[in-house]
Structure 1
Amino acid sequence: MSDNTALDIAIIGMAARLPGARNYREFWANLRNKVESIRFLEDQEIVKDFYLLRDPNYVKAVGYLPDYDKFDPDFFDIPRQMAALMTPEHRLFIEASWEAVEDAGYNVDTIHDDVGVYGTCNPESIARYKLPPDWISAGQEVIDLSYGWCPDAIAPNVLRYLGLTGEALSLTTFCTGVHYGIHLACQSLLLGQCDMAIAGGAVVRVPHERGYLWEAAGVFSRDGHCRPYDKHGTGAALGSGAVSFVLKRLEDAVADDDHITAVIKGTAVNNNGRSALTYGVPQPERLAACISSALAVAGVESETISSVAGFGVGHPISDAVEVRALEMAFQTRERGYCSLGSVKGNIGNCGVAAGGASIIKAALSLLRKTIPATLNHEAPNPDIDFPATPFYINTQEQTYDEPACGIRRTGVTQIAGAGYNAHLILEEPPKRAASTPLMGPQLVVLSARTPGALARMRANLADYLAARPEIGLADVSFTLACGRKAFEHRWATIAPDRESLLDALRKDDSSVCLGQLSCLSSAPTSGYDGSVLAETPDGLVARGEATPGALAALRDAWIAGHPVDWRGVFRDSFSNGGGRRIPLPTYAFERERHWLDAGIAF
């Protein structure tokens, strides 16, 4: 059974954009459906390396990220010039962090405590996008604009453009960046330096339509396919991506009735230093020490770890070193009880985002009690004697059965150049009490900065709910009212049941009968019904119970632009406090191309 302590950290929100996936749900579906999201480029797409196309060792494979060059600067009130100067990594991490906060069910305008942000990026890609100015001779305007692409600003930019305050730390630890960010975020949370944390990162290969030159002694795949822990493995193709996680102390998350995806029991990081035989090659003793440290911090025995989301880059030396280190750290005579897998067979090596992809897989495996298959594994690496270890490769999806210890736990390993090692111990979330069904109609609200975004959000929500009949209407109402920032273009409906809500979401704006669409001006467009609504410092609330008349008055007042204290409404006007936070589709950004080739420069 779980022994939760004050040192445990909860993952309450996630976001991702990875090869073949616009969000973490699509990524999970790709993992379950055994989708390999490596794209093989056509010759005419490759501009940078056209002179290498005739080289037999040039591999035209990439973990391609659709719309890597697009962004919605107007949503964040970022000037167009700044948007073009921002690297795609900065843009993606800002958007992903917004999505992660919404996924957690929080409205940025109602987060008043300090939030720590720990972000990582690839300085090489940033330098390829825009070389730094000469800060000695540059004017102040140039220096101000440079904050949009400077690696040091990737974490502060999230605080700035999400309207938050707190601690910000930008990291550059190669492929372990997300692990290091989570490690430091956990420490800050436990020290009380912040009450919520955002950790993650982004990498976008520039130029994006580019393969690589294979070398026998290198880490790239000979044919573009990654074969984790396989005898034919030669490495991985390069990929791009962005990930973001929202974290809170577990005791706070439970008290606030947050949706918890997984629990972080322990984290550890270290570096090989001078012990490494070769600077860029993993060192088993140091990696084993890192894993052992994570187990010690978590306070759990290795026999209770029933799965590992491994580094598994498909390189024969690296894979063998990793398994050897795991075996050394586990120190058990038990054999073949712990599944070992890697997402790199699906998406390649996504650099600083790679660890985040592994964490998403591990967290969702714990939550949904399913371990997806590891792709492209046919026969084990001959340097790994799997029958003599605690590990096995699951080449088919398997149900994540409850182990003998009574609690599902997984380790997540990440290795990087220059000797970086990192490991996390995750545990399945504590059981959440079932949501109390609410009788009667529910008020559901949506808003966006543009009509197009609002229309897409309605469609996205309708599709999401139609595919998940188990989601309660009260939870939808609560999450969208309390967990979303209110924007100019608004839509609302009073739905007596799920079917009515789906019908209303799918109606054309021109024939809305259960809600209305309005644009805010400098002041509300009309008054409100004071007989059923009362004004408080935080906004309007209902006088008494949330009757159909009170809900209609709240709907009309909110559509007209009046601030509503939704937390007060749910707390005081529903007998059981209303619904609770659940993951729902996040904001539908108006993404357009913003790139330096548009003629914008310092």
Structure 2
Amino acid sequence: MVAELPRDTADSDDIAVTGVSCRLPGASTPDAFWDLLISGRSAVRDVRDRWPAASGATAWGAFLSDVEGFDAAFFGVGEREAALMDPRQRILLELGWEALENGRVRPDGIAGERVGVFVGTTWDDYAQIAYQSRSGLRSGHAMTGLHRGMIANRLSYFLRVTGPSVTVDTGQSSSLVAVHLACASLRSGESSAALVAGVSLALLHTNSTLSDEWGGLSPDGRCHTFDARANGYVRGEGAGVVLLKPLSRSLADGDRILAVIRGSALGTGAGATPTAPDPAAQAAVLRAAHRQAGTEGQVQYVELHGTGTPVGDPVEAAALGAALGSVAAPVAVGSVKTNIGHLEGAAGIAGLIKTVLAVSRRALPPSLNFAAPNPAIDLPGLGLSVVTSAADWPRPHLPLVAGVSSFGMGGANCHVVVGEAPTPPGEGDPAAAPVAPWPVSARSSA
């Protein structure tokens, strides 16, 4: 069964992306992330500085350099409370503020507004560490600091906003499902704007060991998406946030619009086992999303789920080819996991931010680690083409249309359709804009 959002007219339900923030491996800002992507760099490294005992596949990862740092005073949090806050809460507070600023919204000026907060995430590593050490657990801050459901609530409380505040866990598709749910909330009028996030931290080596024993990790620490060498994924961590508003309101407010979300769909379907992907279920979600968006036959690029596993890649390629492929005009594809690893619960938001940047900057970054296609994937026959070097869009003279896929381990499949922002009437050359003051403020002189 596929959940599809209703659409009355061509553009009435489009959702504007007006702000972005991120903290990703090798990139702490959207500009740094774009530079990493377009230059074809990988952030995967040896992670034995975090886990000295790691070996084999678990010794590789795309991790953040600092997950401990947090300006508690800035957010009105005491030191004892901050120590018991899951670092995902801390990162989300910082990135929520940054996304609002990036969207030219005063974070301290939206109290009481129906702003929704939707966050996708999975593992609870920090809580497990706290439970094992039992350090400070008798404090009243332990419940609010360690409970997964509080991750979204923490940001909503700090901003004093009144829209839905939801933490989503559908496995690896969690953060893209959060986008789908946020768009539904915006279209219904339940939310006037939404902050949508994915956040994932790999703090426990045991969870990497579980993934390796399950057969998921690449022994050489590389995601060889759609490649003949595909042998598993490499774990990544990080977070990203997008600020969303109904397009009609965003245009009326004169927002800077980076891209628009034209449609999305969510469905469930597993194969022979609970974790085996099903091509028919994936294809159904793809078709539903583009039917809802009114973009059948228009898609030029798809940001793949693209884990680089020998089972998942051929299934995803078959579904994508059946639903969207074009032999006459092949659909370009790529995977951000080849740059920053698999962010699991935050993988979908990383793929969405990559796609928003690619649309707004009208260029396609390369998908790394691709030399020859998996023998089980007939790229020309499926009407697909892997982007192997920085390139223009396949048909840049047409409106840009892209898809972003994210599939959960248990079959929770999501696809989001992204298009370029409309050009406001009478918009002039940005280079000719007059010089403007740039005020700088802070809570303290330091």
TM above 0.5, yes or no, is: yes
In the TM superposition, residue 411 of structure 1 has moved relative to its aligned partner by 0.5
Q: Does residue 395 in structure 1 map to residue 388 in structure 2? A: yes
The TM-score, its normalising length taken from structure 1, stands at 0.68
Could you tell me which runs of 5 or more consecutive residues in structure 1 were left unpaired when the two chains were aligned.
453-602
Taking a change above 3 Å as real, the CA distance of residues 339 and 280 of structure 1, as seen in their structure-2 partners, is same
Give the distance between the partners of 1:90 and 1:367, measured in 2 at CA. 29
Q: 1:58 to 1:340 in 2, by over 3 A?
A: closer
Does residue 81 (structure 1) correspond to residue 80 (structure 2)? The answer is yes
Residue of 144, 148, 151 corresponding to 1:151: 148
Take 2:293 and 2:379, find their aligned partners in 1: how far apart are those partners?
A: 26
Deviation at 1:6, TM superposition (A): 1.2
After superposition, residues 369-408 of structure 1 pair within 5 angstroms as: 369-400=362-393, 402-403=395-396, 406-408=398-400
Aligned to 2:201: 204
Q: How do 1:402-551 and structure 2 match up within 5 A? A: 402-403=395-396, 406-432=398-424, 433-434=427-428, 442-452=436-446
Relative to structure 1, is the Cα distance of residues 115 and 333 closer, same or farther in structure 2, using a 3 angstrom cutoff?
closer
* Structure 2: distance between partners of 1:208 and 1:69: 17
- State the shift of 1:443 in Å: 4.0
**Is the 8 Å Cα contact of residues 19 and 37 (structure 1) preserved in structure 2?**
yes
SS in 1 for 2:359: helix
**Contact preservation (8 Å) 1:126, 1:151:** no
CA distance in 1, matches of 2:204, 2:102: 31
Secondary structure of 1:109 counterpart: helix
Give the % identical residues: 31
Distance in 2 of aligned mates of 1:418 and 1:203: 18
2: distance between equivalents of 1:246 and 1:400?
25
**Mean Cα displacement is larger for which, 165-174 or 240-249?**
165-174
Q: Which of the numbers 339, 344, 354 marks the counterpart of 1:346? A: 339
Please list the CA deviations of residues 230-270 of structure 1 after superposition, one character each: whole Å capped at 9, or x if unmatched: 00011111111111110000011111111111110111111
> SS in structure 1 opposite 2:410?
helix
Q: Which residue of 1 aligns with 2:6?
A: none
1:364 equivalent to 2:357? Answer yes
Give the letter aligned to residue 331 of structure 2.
Answer: C
Look up the SS of the partner of 1:444 in the other structure. Answer: coil
Aligned equivalent of 1:277: 272
SS at match of 2:75: coil
Q: What secondary structure, in the 3-state scheme, does the structure 2 residue paired with 1:352 have?
A: helix
Structure 2 counterpart of 1:95, one-letter code: E
Q: Distance in 2 between matches of 1:152 and 1:413?
A: 25
Counterpart-to-counterpart distance in 2, 1:209 and 1:98: 32
User: Partners of 1:4 and 1:435 in 2: how far apart?
Assistant: 28
Q: Distance in 2 between matches of 1:45 and 1:116?
A: 35
Q: Which residue of 2 aligns with 1:329?
A: 323
**Number of the residue aligned with 1:257:** 254
Asked if residue 300 in structure 1 is aligned to residue 292 in structure 2, the reply is: no
AA in 2 matched with 1:186 = C
> How many residue pairs get matched?
432
Relative contact order (C-alpha < 8 Å, sep 6+): which is higher?
Answer: 2
Contact 1:60–1:210 under 8 Å retained in 2: no
1:55-94 matches, within 5 Å, as 57-94=56-93
Find the structure with the greater CA-based Rg. Answer: 1
Counterparts in 2 of 1:133 and 1:125: CA distance versus 1, 3 Å: closer
Is it true that 1:35 corresponds to 2:41 in the alignment?
yes
Distance 2:345 2:93 in 1: 15
Residues 33 and 180 of structure 1: is their aligned pair in 2 closer, same or farther, counting only changes over 3 Å?
A: same
Residue 219 of structure 1 and its aligned partner are, at CA, apart by 1.4
Residue aligning to 1:535: none
When the two structures are superposed, what TM-score results if normalisation uses the length of structure 2?
0.91
What is the Cα deviation at residue 185 of structure 1?
0.7
Q: What is the aligned partner in structure 1 of residue 235 from structure 2?
A: 238
Matching of residue 186 in structure 1 with residue 183 in structure 2: yes
Distance apart, 1:419 and its partner CA: 1.2
1:253/1:208 CA distance change after superposition, 3 Å: farther
Give the match for residue 348 of structure 2.
355
Residues 340 and 391 of structure 1 are in contact (CA less than 8 Å); yes or no, is this contact kept in structure 2?
Answer: yes
SS in 2 for 1:263: strand
* Corresponding residue of 1:458: none
Task: For residue 177 of structure 1, report the CA deviation from its aligned partner.
Answer: 1.2
